[in-house]
Amino acid sequence: MGLWELVDKVLIIFYKISGHPVFDYFLGTFLLALLAVVVGEFTISLVFLVNKNHLDRLNIQLANLQQLSMLALKLGDKKSYDACNKEANDTFGRVFFNMVGLSAAALWPAFFALAWMQLRFTGIEFPIPFTGLAVNYVFTFIICYILARMFFGRVKNRLPYFRGIHRMLMEYEKSSAPKIS
Amino acid sequence: MKKGIVNKIALVTLLLMLAILVLGASGVGAQQGSQPQLVGSDLGLKGKLGEAIANAPVGTGKGEIDPNAPRGAFGIPGAPQINYLVAILWAIWVGWIFSTVGAFGGIMAGVGHMTVYGLGDYIKTFKNTAPQVNKLLTDSIRTSNQFLVGLSSLLSTINYLRAKRLAWPLGLALGVGSIVGAVAIPALTGGKVSFSQYQGWFGLFVFVVGGVLLYETTPRGQASKKAAKEAAKAFEQSIKEKKDEASQGIKVTQWGLTETRFTFFGVEFKFNPIWAFVGGVVIAAISAFLGVGGGFLYVPYLTSIVGLPMFVVAGTSAMAVLVSMLTSITTYITVAGAAMDWGMIGVELIGVFIGSMIGPRTQKYIPDIWLKRLFVVLALYVGLRYFSRGFFGQSWVP
């Protein structure tokens, strides 16, 4: 049995809980989305731990340059303002693209979930009442994914591994405020 | 006399040629080829791709669909089976670039989709046999390109929202502009751009990016960067006062179509919303058409052309990228009917996050200037190759 067949056998269990097709579809999709959220949170925590120092350096550098440019503006020093703004520009570019890694780590499971749903639920449409329009598995998955994220956001600081990561993230956000020496 | 005979001969020759062309245009002597047999079924592929597949010729040659062949990319029988190991390795390279240099990663992701995974060569085979398949799969490539850079803006936007660092007047003007651009391009060009045309324009864009990178590696480009760095450092040393300004927000003092004013840290700023709107339209249109470019174009535009400080534009431009990406992808999928290979993107994202962990560790061993030189060479090569293949049918470089 191939890997994809094995995954299919496991994931379809989410869709056979109550026996009522519509209810099972939405419950199963929510559970699938929740699984994607949990796996994504785990991998993003890995990337965060590995890249923390690097991201720290970039964020602090960016925050300092931004503040310098503001101070230069307040003091009417246009030349310094332009220089600091240009440097901040360059640093922002690095910060922005480093976020790609974090975003990728958080979202990759969602795309595999969509790939599986594409095999199983292509062609099934959900009509929107009174409009004549219909949506497909992608739309329903996105809604369930957002709900799953919100749900997990509320419970994650009660779960063993994620509690520690959550605490670290809170400390990280507090300590990364800019300071000019 | 001799000249008169030559003129007569020339005139007769021209008239004969014209007569032959008229006869040919009327169908005289036309070669009647046999009509190819069509697939006749959507093979389980829904939407516009299914319809296009049904009208594609059936067969095992290039530009034909063999319904009995194993399913490959996008679920099409006979399409290339994406080698997931190659896909992950290429995506690790893309993630490495994102975390070291930045912008060029999106371009390399596009190269992966078009060349490394073999999709470009496959799509091109349908240029004459099934043009609609060619164009729809080109849309799928364009949409796939946008996921990577667009996703990077999701986390950035959430962070800036939490820190209340979004300048709403600017965000509104830019956001509305980017939505217009991100809807217009997929709606107007979806299903209409052949792979060769797309490849040509992508190549041209990459060539321009290569030119910009090349300038940054020249003594003049380096001098300008060095001067800005030194000026910023000198200013920092002259500042004695230590102050945490992060709690002060943005306060709008005047709304207007051609001038909006707001204060930030007690300093008043103004900008022209029309310029912000226009910038949003143009940049979103470029990134929606090519699949790259949004991430690194908004900020330089806002700081250099509109004249706003980095602190104000950072969060707003991240939001503009997210909004235009979501809009463009949704429009491609729903209006243009682009098919998506979600598994391919999932595999790429795994590679990207692995690469992004490696990048910071190798960065200290490779000076920035040499990285840029490497990407200049790559950009000029890729740009020239794609431009020539796309618009002229053959590559000017090996």
pLDDT per residue over A49-107, tens digit each?
888 888 888 888 888 887 788 788 777 788 888 888 778 877 877 887 878 888 889 89
**CA-based nearest residue in chain A for residue B269:** A73
Closest by alpha carbon to B96, among B369, B354, B379, B396? B354
Residue at B318 is within a domain: yes
Q: What was the pLDDT predicted at A27?
A: 94
Tally of domains in chain B: 1
Written as one string, the DSSP assignment of B203-241 is HHHHHHHHHHHHHHHSHHHHHHHHHHHHHHHHHHHH---
A79 touches chain B (CB under 8 A): yes
| Spans in chain B with pLDDT lower than 70 | 1-4, 6-7, 10-11, 14-34, 152, 162-166, 239-249, 264-266, 293, 295, 305-307
Q: Is residue B265 assigned to a domain?
A: yes
| B151: nearest CB among A70, A85, A103 | A103
Helices B131-162, B195-217: inter-axial angle, 10-degree rounding = 40
* C-alpha distance from residue B164 to each of B37, B104, B199 (Å): 61, 29, 40
Which residues on chain B are in Cβ contact (under 8 Å) with A95?
156
A14 confidence band (pLDDT: 50, 70, 90): very high
What local confidence, expressed as pLDDT, does residue B123 receive? 93
Q: What is the pLDDT of residues A100-134, one digit of tens each?
A: 888 889 899 999 999 999 989 988 888 888 888 88
Q: Which residues of B touch A47 (CB under 8 A)?
A: 353, 356-357
Residues of A within 8 A of B235 (CB-CB) are: 68, 71-72, 77, 80, 83-84
Cα B250 from chain centre? 33
3-state secondary structure B22-71: HHHHCCCCCCCCCCCCECCCCCCCCHHHHHHHHCCEECCCCCCECCCCCE
A 121-150: CB under 8 A from B: 122-123, 138
Report the chain B residue with the minimal C-alpha distance to residue A44: B353
Domain boundaries, given as residue ranges, for chain A: 20-175
- Quick one: closest CA in B to A76, which residue? B267
Contact with chain B for residue A164, Cβ under 8 A: no
Domain that holds residue B385: 47-236+247-392
Strand ranges, E, within chain B: 250-254, 260-264, 267-271
Cα separation, A138 vs A29, whole angstroms: 10
**pLDDT, tens digit (0-9, with 9 covering 90-100), for B129-186:** 999 999 999 999 988 888 877 776 777 777 777 666 667 778 888 888 889 988 888 8
Taking the Cβ of residue A89 and every Cβ of chain B, the question of whether any pair is shorter than 8 Å is answered with yes
Nearest CA in chain A to B227: A83
Largest CA distance in chain A: 71
The reply to whether residue A111 touches residue B346, judged by beta carbons under 8 angstroms, is yes
Q: How close, in Å, is residue A179 to chain B by CA atoms?
A: 7
B263 touches chain A (CB under 8 A): no
Structural domain contains residue B181 = yes
Two tokens, residue B145: 């390109």
> What is the dihedral sign for C-alpha B173, B176, B181, B182?
positive
Which comes out higher in pLDDT, residue B4 or A21? A21
Which residue has better confidence, A178 or B349? B349
Looking at the domain assignment, is residue B5 inside a domain?
no
Judged by a CB distance cut-off of 8 A, whether residue B109 touches chain A is no
Q: Is B43 within 8 Å of chain A by CB?
A: no
Q: Which tokens sit at B342?
A: 């979600």
Q: Which stretches of chain A are DSSP H helices?
A: 3-11, 21-74, 78-121, 137-155, 160-175
A106 half-sphere exposure, CB direction, 13 A CA radius: 17
For B373, phi and psi rounded to 5 degrees? -65, -40
Residues 6+ away with beta carbon under 8 Å from B57: B36, B37, B38, B39, B63, B64, B65, B129, B130
Determine the residue of chain B that is closest to A122 in CA distance.
B46
Question: Does the residue B272 lie in any domain?
Answer: yes
Q: Quote the pLDDT of residue A177.
A: 46
Look at residues B336, B313, B339, B324 and name the one whose alpha carbon lies nearest to residue B291.
Answer: B324
